[in-house]
């Protein structure tokens, strides 16, 4: 979302038909606000792209981007699948009433207890990551006299152009079975020999916040080659090729994301070059589904002017509700939600309230004249924002509100001081 795509009325930022300044008043700040129609529309764009290209597909929302009961319920309404990466995400999804057969379970170090929880709840597919996990799962299946669908997470040696912290597809990665060295084939053999595991297909995830299509085209090609090898070696043809997530979104004018339809049509064209049957194609978008739909509303407080330097404008949240700028220099843009009609007059650092010099939410933000009590809205905070929130300095985590059709609904309560000590024991 860039600033000039926003809607405003009477100088106030409007989100999903609702006045954001009213939201800040009603629910307090810091506040996460999600425009749910945008989320639905992102999913529908992916679906339409697959249908236009005549591919069998599945959209599996990578829920680590934002994982609360209400978002799992939206995914259920949209008939999407979901990825989870922990017992906690799995628990949340199940408690939300999300159908277990549409859940994929990821992670490079799932525990026996997590695998057993997945198996007992008849989860859709476990994405196997390493040899230790094959053994653990085999034990779980034996002691529960159960069977389960699995996929193999592969590291096909492709790294898409992106921020280095986000690269997970290259050979030197903690994730997946390496293809080059024969680990992938060894893993396939182990799984195919296990009667309690049904090998649904192969998976790879090459990175995050990816803008170019080349990485995905290379990946599609490589995965078809790997499928052919599996056919030659084991007379096995995958039912599913899972190409992971990582589709980029625009956090500012410099980011130039590619549309779902362009991504998917290029992938489809590559897959169809093969004379083999094209398996069902699954993708796992996280950021591109929820990123642009999220806003964080803050109240502006103190200000520090530094001679010959940019001023610091502080807000009532910071790294505890959005750690991405401190963690990997993520860039955001903001607007003053109650001054949408006013001209920018200065550039300032937007500082958080946490006791860390690195707690700067935005390094350089153009602002109109501001005063304490103004509402700052940081844009595109829907992905990896609330899901990474924490209680540093014993600040309670914010509330989360969904807006749709001009209505707002509280979906996560604001933490209280009492909540903060609820796990503490006296000594
Ligand atoms: C994180 C992750 C995703 C989602 O990545 P986005 O950049 O949010 O789209 C998808 N698949 C796997 C395996 C992941 O780890």
What pLDDT shows up at residue 163?
Answer: 52
Phi, psi of 201 (to 5 degrees): 170, -160
Ligand 1 near 62 CB (within 6 A): yes
Phi, psi of 104 (to 5 degrees): -105, 135
Q: Which CATH code fits 3-35+291-420?
A: 2.40.37.10
Beta strands in 156-244 (DSSP E): 177-178, 197-203, 240-242
What pLDDT shows up at residue 177?
Answer: 95
Q: Which ligand 1 atom minimizes the distance to the CA of 210?
A: 7
Biggest distance spanned by C-alpha atoms of the chain = 72
Ligand 1 near 333 CB (within 6 A): no
- Is 244 annotated as a binding-site member? no
Phi, psi of 271 (to 5 degrees): -60, -40
CA 419 to chain centre: 26
Q: Nearest-CA neighbor of 137 among 151, 117, 116, 167?
A: 116
The answer to whether 298 and 317 are in contact (CB under 8 A) is yes
CA gap 304, 314 in Å, rounded:
8
The answer to whether 81 and 61 are in contact (CB under 8 A) is yes
Tell me the best of 86, 204, 242, 284 to mutate to test the pocket of ligand 1, counting ligand atoms within 8 Å of each CB and taking the most. Answer: 284
Q: Copy the structure tokens of residue 182.
A: 């024969």
Domain ranges of the chain: 3-35+291-420, 37-286
CA gap 367, 141 in Å, rounded:
58
Q: Which ligand 1 atom minimizes the distance to the CA of 247?
A: 9
Residue with tokens 């999220």: 294
CA gap 252, 345 in Å, rounded:
19
The answer to whether 408 and 343 are in contact (CB under 8 A) is no
Residue with tokens 């277990």: 100
Q: Which residues of 98-119 are buried (b: 16+ CB within 10 A; e: fewer)?
A: beeebbbbbbeebeeebbbbbb
Report the half-sphere exposure of 236 (CA within 13 A, side-chain side).
20
Phi, psi of 120 (to 5 degrees): -65, -30
Q: What is the pTM of this model?
A: 0.96
Catalytically active residues, by annotation: 355
Ligand 1 near 284 CB (within 6 A): yes
Ligand 1 near 169 CB (within 6 A): no
| Residue with CA closest to ligand 1 atom 3 | 245
Q: Copy the structure tokens of residue 132.
A: 């230790």
Ligand 1 near 65 CB (within 6 A): yes
What pLDDT shows up at residue 110?
Answer: 98
Distance 3 CA to ligand 1 centre (A): 26
What pLDDT shows up at residue 136?
Answer: 98
37-286: same fold as 3-35+291-420? no
DSSP for 15-34, please give it: ETTEEHHHHHHHH-SSEEEE
Write out the chain's pLDDT in tens, 427 residues.
Answer: 777 789 999 999 999 999 999 999 999 999 999 999 999 999 999 999 999 999 999 999 999 999 999 999 999 999 999 999 999 999 999 999 999 999 999 999 999 999 999 999 999 999 999 999 999 999 999 999 999 999 999 998 886 655 554 455 567 788 999 998 999 999 999 999 999 999 999 999 998 898 888 889 999 999 999 999 999 999 999 999 999 999 999 998 888 888 888 999 999 999 999 889 999 999 999 999 999 999 999 999 999 999 999 999 999 999 999 999 999 999 999 999 999 999 999 999 999 999 999 999 999 999 999 999 999 999 999 999 999 999 999 999 999 999 999 999 999 999 999 999 999 999 9
**CATH architecture assigned to 37-286:** Alpha-Beta Barrel (3.20)
């Amino acid at each position: 979302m860039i600033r000039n795509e926003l809607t405003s009325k009477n100088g106030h930022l409007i989100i999903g038909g609702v006045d954001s300044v009213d939201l800040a008043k009603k629910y307090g700040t810091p506040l996460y606000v999600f425009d749910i129609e945008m989320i639905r529309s992102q999913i529908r764009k992916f679906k339409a792209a697959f249908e236009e290209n005549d591919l069998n597909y599945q959209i599996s929302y990578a829920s680590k981007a934002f994982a609360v009961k209400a978002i799992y319920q939206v995914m259920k309404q949209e008939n999407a699948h979901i990825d989870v990466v922990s017992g906690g995400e799995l628990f949340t999804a199940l408690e939300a009433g999300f159908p277990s057969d549409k859940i994929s379970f990821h992670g490079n170090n799932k525990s026996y207890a997590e695998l057993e929880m997945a198996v007992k709840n008849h989860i859709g597919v476990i994405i196997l990551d390493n040899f230790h996990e094959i053994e653990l799962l085999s034990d779980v299946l034996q002691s529960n006299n159960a069977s389960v669908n699995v996929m193999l997470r592969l590291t096909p040696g492709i790294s898409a152009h992106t921020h280095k912290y986000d690269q997970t597809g290259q050979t030197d990665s903690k994730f997946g079975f390496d293809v080059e060295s024969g680990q992938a084939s060894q893993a396939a053999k182990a799984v195919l020999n296990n009667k309690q595991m049904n090998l649904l297909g192969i998976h790879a995830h090459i990175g995050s916040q990816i803008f170019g299509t080349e990485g995905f085209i290379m990946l599609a090609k490589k995965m078809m080659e790997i499928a052919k090898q599996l056919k030659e070696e084991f007379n096995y043809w995958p039912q599913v090729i899972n190409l992971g997530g990582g589709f980029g979104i625009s956090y500012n004018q410099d980011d130039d994301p590619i549309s779902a339809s362009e991504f998917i049509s290029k992938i489809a064209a590559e897959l169809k070059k093969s004379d083999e049957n094209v398996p069902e194609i699954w993708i796992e978008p996280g950021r591109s589904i929820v990123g642009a739909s999220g806003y964080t509303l803050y109240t502006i407080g103190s200000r520090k002017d530094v001679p010959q330097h940019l001023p610091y404008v502080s807000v009532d949240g910071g790294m505890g509700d959005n750690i991405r700028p401190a963690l990997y220099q993520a860039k955001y843009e903001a607007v003053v939600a109650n001054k949408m009609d006013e001209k920018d007059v200065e550039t300032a650092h937007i500082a958080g309230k946490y006791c860390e010099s690195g707690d700067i939410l935005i390094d350089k933000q153009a602002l109109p004249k501001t005063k304490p009590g103004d509402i700052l809205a940081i844009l595109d905070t829907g992905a990896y924002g609330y899901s990474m929130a924490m209680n540093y300095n014993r600040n309670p985590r914010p509330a989360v509100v969904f807006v749709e059709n001009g209505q707002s609904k509280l979906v996560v309560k604001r933490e209280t001081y009492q909540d903060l000590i609820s796990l503490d024991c006296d000594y």
